[in-house]
Structure 1
Amino acid sequence: MENGTMSSSFYFTLFKEFVHIRYVILTLTLTVYLAIIVCNAIILFVVFKERSLHEPMYILISCLSVNDLYGSAGFFPRLIADLLSDTNAISRPACFVQIFTIYSYAMSEYTILTLMAYDRYVAICNPLKYHKIMSLRLTARYMAMASFCVVFSMALVIFFSAKLPLCGTDVTRLYCSNWSVVRLSCGTSTLSNNILGFFVTTATVFLPAFFILYTYIRILIICQKSSKEFKGKALQTCLPHIVSFVNYSIASFCDIALSRNDSDKIKILTIIFSVEFLVIPPVLNPLIYGLNLPEIRKKIACLFRRSKIGHFIE
């Protein structure tokens, strides 16, 4: 390819290394994707069906499920198609659509976890002001503002990346990532892309992470000064959020740290962490909230009991 030409397609090169076990991977992929759809759909159905769960905390949990379904839709269908394909080619527009979907999912995950941490912080540290600060209307506004920031940030990233002249077509990942495309550029500086990427990562990952840590430290301080009963209830509602935050943070930070490393010695590790944040949270989140939060667990149990009774009557 000539320097500076725009490629019409990209090619995922990693699939060639797994061609001998691609049907095993395909089976696992279909199983995981189906589990993600079913588990998150149950959470959404229960939260929206039960009026008692129409509270900010549960609405944010349902937003997390919607986001997990959204991110999974940007990754799994394409992965399944590539496992069944011999060319593993993706068009340039489709590649940037996938970048937008996966990165906006990742940013939104942190945004929702941040709002969930703030919700718990207000409920535990300022309970008398909770309904004024975290009403359903204000929660919807927070989500709308956060979504706008995510879309605007990703539109900027895609705009700068799409303008780059490229001298290659090989993407060394299982999906299109921004860095895997930017690194193919030639004949022009990528400094502006790197600065923008650093700013967006700091604003949407590191700052929310520090804020979440701060809120949970404040919650723990309050719990230490409170009764055992209060401490137990507070930690019961916070534990699912903490587990989700820790799991997602580890996966995200490892992916960021390893994304620019091409060493063959850690290639497998890089591949694992590059997909972990797209696979584990969408599966783990509905299980955590469905099993650990009493209100959701009770409603899910009632739902299954009703379905069994209805089936028996029929």
Structure 2
Amino acid sequence: MANVSSVSDILELETLGHPESSTYAVFFTLLFVYIALLITNFGVLIIIIIERNLHEPMYLLFCNLSVNDILGNTILLPRMLIDMLSKTRLMPYNHCVTQVFFIHTYASASHTILLVGLSVRLSRCRSLVPNFYCDNASLFKLSCDDVSINNIYGLFYTVVLFSSSMGTVAVTYTKIAVTCWTKKSAELNSKAIQTCASHLVLYLIMLFTGFTIIIVHRFPEERFLRKLMALLFHLVPANFNPIIYGLQTKHLRQKILQVFGVKVTLS
């Protein structure tokens, strides 16, 4: 423990792991994706705010999703893009802890995961963050203490919450399937497939990437896969939520079409 006090409060972040020759291609791709998610999510927010007939609980949920996606990706992507073009990727420890808080707040809101508080009080004897952004598991790896209890608690908490999430989704889709089967309505079945299929694909992507991030953190040699899954966990839902929850909602879709000058007939 004697070397703890000598550790700098300035942390060094790893690179994303892409080939150096493709830096600009990766940079502009991520920049385009970030701008696209800002436009779509802010667009949904503005339309819901200015249209009084959309001031209902269901659309408040859409607002929460958009705000969460904007905040969750803004705390990650701009800093990451700057670091990609910088020769040094340094971050003060306090800023790193702040990023951990917002990253896990984002994850909590989109998938009920929150594992922040345990890492802040740990001592540190390393300064290289084994990731391209700060997350809870990466901060654990900076500690010179035994973090077995933290890892066990984190895994237990994550398993419980993931199980609750998957259980809720399974029960909901089972009820939808039973209703469609008993009603035997072609129109009802068509609406259910249209709404549920896209939602289920997005949920499975988020579930798969979330599980992969947690599992691969236990295998240091698979750093690039972990980083790729972390990007997908943030970018895929943020870009598709406005489409799935916005464009498939009748009144919101009509308002979006009207904004772009498309005439629609309100039934």
Taking structure 2 as the reference length, the TM-score comes to: 0.87
CA distance in 2, matches of 1:200, 1:81: 34
- Aligned-partner SS, 1:78: helix
The within-5 A match list for 1:146-165 is 153-154=114-115, 157-158=116-117, 160-165=118-123
Say whether 1:292 aligns with 2:248. Answer: yes
Cα distance between partner residues in 2 of 1:252 and 1:65: 19
Question: In 2, distance between residues paired with 1:94 and 1:25?
Answer: 25
Does the C-alpha gap of structure 1 residues 203 and 69 become closer, same or farther in structure 2, counting only changes over 3 Å? farther
The alpha carbon displacement at 1:208 in A equals 1.8
Aligned counterpart, 1:30: 31
| Shift, 1:12, TM fit | 1.2
> How far did residue 283 of structure 1 move?
1.0
Higher relative helix content: 1
Q: Matched residues in 2 for 1:178 and 1:62: separation?
A: 27
* CA distance in 2 between partners of 1:2 and 1:287 (Å): 54
Out of 255, 259, 270, which is 2:226 matched to? 270
CA distance in 1, matches of 2:180, 2:17: 53
Picking from 282, 292, 297, the partner of 2:238 is 282
Counterpart Cα distance in 2 of 1:27 and 1:212: 36
Partner of 1:190: 147
Tell me if structure 2 keeps the 8 A contact 1:30–1:80: yes
Correspondence list, 1:1-314, <5 A: 3-5=3-5, 6-14=7-15, 18-111=19-112, 153-154=114-115, 157-158=116-117, 160-186=118-144, 188-226=145-183, 227-263=185-221, 266-305=222-261
Residue 194 of structure 1, CA deviation: 1.7
Task: Say if 1:275 and 1:34 are closer, same or farther in 2 by CA, change over 3 A.
Answer: same
Deviates more, 1:78-87 or 1:68-77: 78-87
Cα 1:17/1:287, change in 2 over 3 Å: closer
Answer whether contact 1:11 1:90 (CA < 8 A) is retained: yes
* CA 1:181–1:23: 2 relative to 1, 3 Å: same
Question: How far off its partner does 1:15 sit?
Answer: 5.1
Give the aligned partner of residue 265 of structure 2: none
**CA distance in 1: counterparts of 2:119 and 2:141, whole angstroms:** 10
- Residue 177 (structure 1) shift: 1.5
- Report if the CA contact (8 A) 1:107-1:205 is conserved: no
CA pair 47-239 structure 1, distance change in 2 beyond 3 A? farther
Asked if the contact 1:110/1:209 (under 8 Å) is kept, the reply is no
Unaligned stretches of 5+ in structure 1?
112-149, 307-314
> Compared with structure 1, are the counterparts of its residues 223 and 89 closer, same or farther at alpha carbon in structure 2 (3 Å cutoff)?
same
Structure 2 CA distance for aligned equivalents of residues 275 and 93 of structure 1: 23
Task: Read off the aligned partner of 2:230 and give its amino acid letter.
Answer: S
Unaligned runs of 5+ in 2: 263-267
Q: Do the aligned partners of 1:289 and 1:296 also contact (CA within 8 Å) in 2?
A: no
Aligned-residue sequence identity (percent) comes to 33
Render the CA deviation track for 1:252-276: whole Å, top value 9, x for unaligned. 112112122112xx44322211221
Task: Output the TM-score relative to the length of structure 1.
Answer: 0.75
Contact 1:12/1:175 (CA < 8 Å) preserved in 2? yes
* Aligned partners of 1:37 and 1:69 also within 8 Å: yes
Query: Counterpart in 2 of 1:136?
Result: none
- Aligned residues: CA RMSD: 2.4
